[in-house]
Structure 1
Amino acid sequence: MADANDHPARLIVVVAFSRADNGQLVPAYDPMQFDTPEDATRMARYLAGKCVGVLAWVRDVQPDVGGYAAPTILFQSGDVPELE
C-alpha cells in the first residue's frame, strides 16, 4: 500500500485579475483551488470573459520537505503577472 507521502501533492490554482484605478493588476477574487486540472481550466475559461486576466496553474508540492516544483501553466488569458 502506497503512503500519501510517497507522491507529491498537486496544487491546482486559478487566479483572476482586474485593474485598479491606478492601472495596477490586482486580484479580482481570492485564488481558487481545484481538485483537477480540467476543473481549473474550465473555471479559468469562464472567468476569461469577465476579467482582464486569468491564470490557471499546477505545481507539485511536498509539504514534508517544503519543496515546490516549478509551476506549469494550464490556461492563460489577458494581462497577468509573471509566475514566480
Structure 2
Amino acid sequence: MRQVPDGLTDQQSEDRAVRTAKALAGNHVGVIAWSRDADPALGDYGPPTVLFAQGEVPDME
C-alpha cells in the first residue's frame, strides 16, 4: 500500500522542525524533518539535509 504524505509544514527553525517531527512520530507511520539552502529568486535549491527521521520515510535525493 502506498502512503501519501500529509501535514507538510514550514517551520521557523531547524530546532522547531525537529521538535515538531518528534512530537508527531508517535502518531504517524513515518516523519521527517529536513532543510536545504535555497535562493527562490534565482530558482537555486541545494540538496536536502535530513535533521530527523523516524519510521517509513522517502529517500531524500
Q: 2:59, 2:23 → 1: CA distance?
A: 21
For these two proteins, the number of residue pairs brought into alignment is 61
Q: Where is the strand percentage greater, Structure 1 or Structure 2?
A: 1
CA RMSD in angstroms comes to: 1.0
Q: Deviations 1:51-77 (Å, cap 9, x if unpaired)?
A: 000010000110121010101000000
Q: Which structure is larger by alpha-carbon Rg, 1 or 2?
A: 1
Quote the sequence identity (%).
43
Secondary structure of 1:33's aligned partner:
coil
The letter of the residue matching 1:43 is T
User: How far is the alpha carbon of 1:39 from its aligned partner?
Assistant: 0.5
Aligned to 2:12: 35
Secondary structure of 1:40's aligned partner:
helix
| TM-score (normalizing by structure 2) | 0.91
Write out the 4+ residue segments of structure 1 that deviate beyond 6 Å after TM superposition.
Answer: none
Q: Deviations 1:16-54 (Å, cap 9, x if unpaired)?
A: xxxxxxx21211x33110010010000100111000000
Q: 2:7, 2:29 → 1: CA distance?
A: 15
Work out whether 1:67 is the aligned partner of 2:41: no
Q: Where is the helix percentage greater, Structure 1 or Structure 2?
A: 2
| Unmatched 5+ stretches in structure 2 | none
Structure 1 residues 69-84: aligned runs within 5 Å: 69-84=46-61
| Unmatched 5+ stretches in structure 1 | 1-22
